[in-house]
């Protein structure tokens, strides 16, 4: 109940709940403010720590400050307006010495809120941030104010994934789509407007982050997946997926994109839902392979490497989102056809570690990594190995393999996991593999090795991946749905996932004006004869494709037709 206030203060009335998840020397605080007075246009929360050893560290959804034992939290630019009856969720990571008692009084714009009966959860079983016990929190459709339970080692294990009703409806609009429409897919947050949801236009649905989280609770889902995808100068080497933010707009990325997402995900209402964030597709690897005069170098990639937009943006996202007790972050790590060569393998792992400890983050904010996101690399190549030889020539010498050390995603993901651990990541990190479009079934799927006449005939005759070139990535003709999403399929692999929702375009076949900042990339043009990055090969792209993220029913029909395992 709100405390009575004087007539002069009657415009501001408030209720505050404060809860913590404690461990020796540290804690995460979750603060909920309910405005029970008039609408606010700007706010400042104030309270006093009872112990002089308590300190505020990194916070979210507010500008936090501390002087002595006095703490203040001032609104950000995006959450200053608070309607009557509305609720704010904010919080911070803190440290303590001696004891960690809860504040007993709070003010909002100088007005005293409720006297406070803060929730004090048991601390004996509360782990440090580096602990990952395997106990699973009990899903609950309600939103108690106690903090989340201990993190699990694998957020995909033992629970059902969230089915996006917007994707489900599109899938079922295509004949036979109901065979796969109940699979969990990720929600892509590819621009600021997607946070609150947009009218159902070309590539964004009407549902925002909170809508999806509420629907996940309604479904009784155990986990939900979001793609965090809006870096400054995004996709610096691929025009089709360029974004809305310029290369120098890192402050806007932080304040207008990451902070609002973190504020919603931190709402205690969702504490029992495992929130998986896929962090910035095709970003960090570009800093090594497409900069500094390399064959794929672009001016934009050179810019975001020089100004630190990617490294610091990813670090900031990890720190903000990783501070939330029930959030699990997986960083995108490209695919074997991009960084499988020894010249790329270790340097990209080093860059990923640099990002994980940038902008106040630590490796403890990284649950794992994902490979093959929105790509087509085969999960397994059963009919040839990188160590095979034909007439004295190694498979690595074939035109398709091109001296790569890996020929499929599973072997690459398992090996890259070990490389990442050697760079300083925790030894319990897990890998995800996006299998949404790498099935390569249908009548063109090989059933045995190719002829032994020469190394190219051997590889081309037996390879599952039927692309013209392994560098082709846009709306590939002949592709099919891959393994269905499931947890713990192989050692070191947390899950096979459908992060790229099948049927959503990679990019338009021709230039299409749009208000989403998405350009036209010739790699999506089926008539284009290629560039240095795909060996000057044809693109293999489907015709008549819409802009990236938009629904492409012809592609979805093809993916079902060529699914492997086949659909019944």
Q: What share of the chain is helix, strand, coil (3-state, %, to 5)?
A: 25, 20, 55
Most confident of the following: 22-31, 364-373, 511-520: 364-373
pLDDT over threshold 50, residue 146: no
Instruction: Give the pLDDT of residue 137.
Output: 32
Query: In the 3-class helix/strand/coil scheme, how is 376-400 assigned residue by residue?
Result: CCCCCCCCCCCCCEECCEEHHHCCC
If pLDDT is split at 50, 70 and 90, which confidence band does 96 have? confident
Instruction: Give the pLDDT of residue 3.
Output: 34
CA distances from 340 to 221, 332, 334, 407, 414 (A): 35, 15, 10, 8, 12
Beta bridge partners of 369: 331, 431
The residues, ordered by sequence, that sit 6+ positions from 403 with a Cβ below 8 Å of its Cβ are 341, 396, 397
Mean pLDDT score of the chain, rounded to an integer?
Answer: 88
The residues, ordered by sequence, that sit 6+ positions from 392 with a Cβ below 8 Å of its Cβ are none
Give the pLDDT mean for 265-280.
96
pLDDT over threshold 60, residue 462: yes
Give the pLDDT mean for 121-140.
32
Q: Please give the Cα distance from 180 to 388 (Å, whole number).
A: 37
pLDDT over threshold 80, residue 23: no
pLDDT over threshold 90, residue 144: no
Least confident of 62-76, 370-384, 434-448, 486-500: 62-76
Q: Please give the Cα distance from 286 to 280 (Å, whole number).
A: 12
Percent with pLDDT over 70 in the chain? 90
CB atoms within 10 A of CB 332: 27
pLDDT in tens, 383-429: 999 999 999 999 999 999 999 999 999 999 999 999 999 999 999 99
Q: Please give the Cα distance from 366 to 273 (Å, whole number).
A: 18
Give burial (CB, 10 Å; 0-12/13-18/19+) of 449.
middle
Instruction: Give the pLDDT of residue 8.
Output: 33
If pLDDT is split at 50, 70 and 90, which confidence band does 213 have? very high
User: Do residues 509 and 547 make contact, with C-beta atoms less than 8 angstroms apart?
Assistant: no
Instruction: Give the pLDDT of residue 115.
Output: 38
pLDDT over threshold 80, residue 7: no
CB atoms within 10 A of CB 1: 7
Instruction: Give the pLDDT of residue 11.
Output: 60
pLDDT in tens, 322-374: 999 999 999 999 999 999 999 999 999 999 999 999 999 999 999 999 999 99
**How many helices and strands in the chain, by DSSP H and E?**
13, 21
If pLDDT is split at 50, 70 and 90, which confidence band does 535 have? confident
Q: Please give the Cα distance from 264 to 248 (Å, whole number).
A: 26
Instruction: Give the pLDDT of residue 294.
Output: 81
Give the pLDDT mean for 246-270.
96
Instruction: Give the pLDDT of residue 122.
Output: 34
Q: Which domains does the chain have, with CATH numbers?
A: 7-112 (2.60.40.290), 165-561 (3.20.20.40)
If pLDDT is split at 50, 70 and 90, which confidence band does 203 have? low
Q: Of 190, 267, 282, 332, which is the active-site residue?
A: 282
Q: Please give the Cα distance from 336 to 167 (Å, whole number).
A: 28
pLDDT in tens, 221-246: 999 999 999 999 998 987 766 889 99
Is the bond preceding 565 in cis, omega lying within 30 degrees of 0? yes
Q: Which residue has the higher pLDDT, 430 or 2?
A: 430
Most confident of the following: 14-18, 71-75, 174-178: 174-178
Instruction: Give the pLDDT of residue 24.
Output: 76
Instruction: Give the pLDDT of residue 290.
Output: 93
Helices within 220-323 (DSSP H only): 250-252, 259-265, 286-289, 299-306, 309-322
If pLDDT is split at 50, 70 and 90, which confidence band does 29 have? confident
Two tokens at 368?
A: 């794992």
- For the chain, the distance separating the N- and C-terminal CA atoms, rounded to the nearest angstrom, is 57
Most confident of the following: 69-73, 159-163, 188-192: 159-163
Closest by CA position to 472, among listed 428, 526, 420, 429: 526
Instruction: Give the pLDDT of residue 130.
Output: 32
pLDDT over threshold 80, residue 123: no
pLDDT over threshold 90, residue 555: yes
pLDDT over threshold 60, residue 121: no
Closest by CA position to 164, among listed 118, 116, 88, 218: 218
In DSSP notation, 113-134 reads: ------B----TTPPPTT----
CB atoms within 10 A of CB 191: 22
The Cα angle at residue 261 between residues 502 and 116, in degrees rounded to 5:
140
Please provide residue 162's backbone torsions phi and psi, each rounded to the nearest 5 degrees: -75, 130
Instruction: Give the pLDDT of residue 9.
Output: 36
Q: Of 22, 465, 494, 506, which is the active-site residue?
A: 506
User: Do residues 316 and 327 make contact, with C-beta atoms less than 8 angstroms apart?
Assistant: no
Instruction: Give the pLDDT of residue 77.
Output: 81
Closest by CA position to 241, among listed 548, 551, 509: 548
Please provide residue 487's backbone torsions phi and psi, each rounded to the nearest 5 degrees: -90, 150
Instruction: Give the pLDDT of residue 117.
Output: 36
Instruction: Give the pLDDT of residue 295.
Output: 77
Q: Please give the Cα distance from 541 to 553 (Å, whole number).
A: 15
**pTM for this one?**
0.76
Instruction: Give the pLDDT of residue 124.
Output: 31
Give the pLDDT mean for 302-313.
96
CA distances from 408 to 120, 217, 470, 471 (A): 49, 36, 11, 13
pLDDT over threshold 50, residue 182: yes
Two tokens at 118?
A: 């803060």
Beta bridge partners of 390: 393
pLDDT over threshold 70, residue 132: no
Closest by CA position to 415, among listed 424, 425, 405: 405
Instruction: Give the pLDDT of residue 204.
Output: 55
Please provide residue 436's backbone torsions phi and psi, each rounded to the nearest 5 degrees: -70, -25
Beta bridge partners of 71: 47, 66
Percent with pLDDT over 90 in the chain? 72
Say which residue the tokens 């806007």 belong to.
252
Residue 449 DSSP class: P
CB atoms within 10 A of CB 293: 6
Instruction: Give the pLDDT of residue 437.
Output: 98
The residues, ordered by sequence, that sit 6+ positions from 378 with a Cβ below 8 Å of its Cβ are 408, 409, 438, 440, 463, 464, 465
Is the bond preceding 425 in cis, omega lying within 30 degrees of 0? no
In DSSP notation, 234-255 reads: -STT-GGG--SS-TT-HHHIII
Question: Angle between the 409-422 and 342-356 helix axes, to the nearest 10 degrees?
Answer: 50
Task: Respond yes or no: is residue 282 known to be catalytic.
Answer: yes
């Amino acid at each position: 109940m709100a405390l009575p206030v004087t007539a002069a203060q009657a415009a501001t009335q408030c209720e505050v709940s404060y809860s913590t998840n404690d461990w020796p020397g540290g804690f995460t605080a979750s603060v909920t403010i309910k405005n029970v007075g008039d609408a606010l246009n700007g706010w400042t929360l104030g309270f006093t720590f009872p112990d002089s050893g308590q300190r505020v560290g990194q916070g979210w959804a507010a500008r936090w400050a501390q002087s002595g034992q006095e703490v203040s939290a001032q609104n950000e630019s995006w959450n200053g307006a608070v309607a009557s009856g509305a609720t704010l969720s904010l919080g911070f990571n803190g440290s303590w010495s001696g004891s960690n008692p809860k504040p007993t009084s709070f003010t909002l714009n100088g007005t005293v809120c409720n006297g406070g009966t803060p929730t004090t959860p048991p601390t004996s079983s509360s782990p440090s941030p580096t602990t990952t016990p395997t106990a699973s929190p009990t899903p609950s459709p309600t939103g108690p104010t106690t903090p989340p339970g201990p993190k699990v080692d694998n957020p995909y294990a033992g629970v059902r994934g969230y089915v996006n009703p917007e994707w489900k409806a599109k899938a079922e609009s295509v004949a036979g789509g109901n065979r796969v429409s109940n699979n969990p897919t990720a929600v892509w947050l590819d621009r600021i407007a997607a946070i609150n949801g947009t009218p159902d236009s070309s590539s964004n649905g009407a549902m925002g982050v909170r809508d999806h989280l509420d629907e996940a609770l309604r479904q009784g889902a155990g986990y939900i997946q979001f793609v965090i995808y809006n870096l400054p100068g995004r996709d610096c080497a691929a025009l089709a997926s360029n974004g809305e933010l310029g290369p120098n707009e890192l402050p806007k990325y932080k304040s207008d994109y990451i902070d609002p997402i973190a504020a919603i995900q931190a709402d205690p209402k969702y504490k029992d839902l495992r929130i998986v964030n896929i962090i910035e597709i095709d970003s960090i690897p570009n800093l090594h392979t497409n900069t500094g005069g390399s064959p794929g170098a672009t001016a934009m990639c050179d810019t975001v490497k020089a100004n630190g937009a990617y490294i610091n943006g990813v670090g900031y996202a990890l720190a903000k989102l990783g501070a939330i007790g029930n959030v699990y972050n997986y960083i995108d790590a490209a695919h074997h056809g991009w960084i499988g060569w020894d010249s790329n393998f270790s340097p990209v792992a080093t860059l990923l570690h640099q990002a994980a400890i940038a902008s106040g983050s630590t490796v403890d904010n990284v649950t794992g990594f994902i490979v093959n996101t929105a790509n087509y690399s085969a999960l397994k190549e059963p009919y040839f190995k990188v160590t095979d030889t034909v007439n004295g020539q190694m498979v690595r010498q074939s035109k398709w393999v091109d001296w790569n050390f890996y020929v499929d995603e599973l072997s690459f993901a398992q090996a890259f996991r070990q490389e990442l651990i050697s760079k300083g990541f925790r030894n319990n990190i897990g890998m995800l593999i996006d299998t949404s479009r790498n099935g390569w079934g249908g009548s063109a799927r090989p059933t045995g090795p190719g002829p032994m006449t020469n190394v190219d005939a051997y590889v081309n005759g037996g390879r599952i991946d039927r692309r013209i070139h392994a560098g082709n990535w846009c709306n590939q003709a002949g592709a099919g749905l891959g393994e269905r999403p499931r947890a713990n399929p192989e050692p070191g692999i947390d899950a096979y996932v459908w992060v790229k929702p099948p049927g959503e375009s990679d990019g338009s076949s021709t230039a299409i004006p749009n208000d989403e900042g998405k350009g036209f990339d010739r790699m999506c043009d089926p008539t284009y004869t290629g560039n240095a990055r795909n060996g000057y090969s044809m693109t293999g792209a489907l015709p008549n494709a819409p802009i990236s993220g938009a629904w492409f029913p012809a592609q979805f029909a093809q993916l079902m037709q060529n699914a492997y395992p086949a659909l019944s």
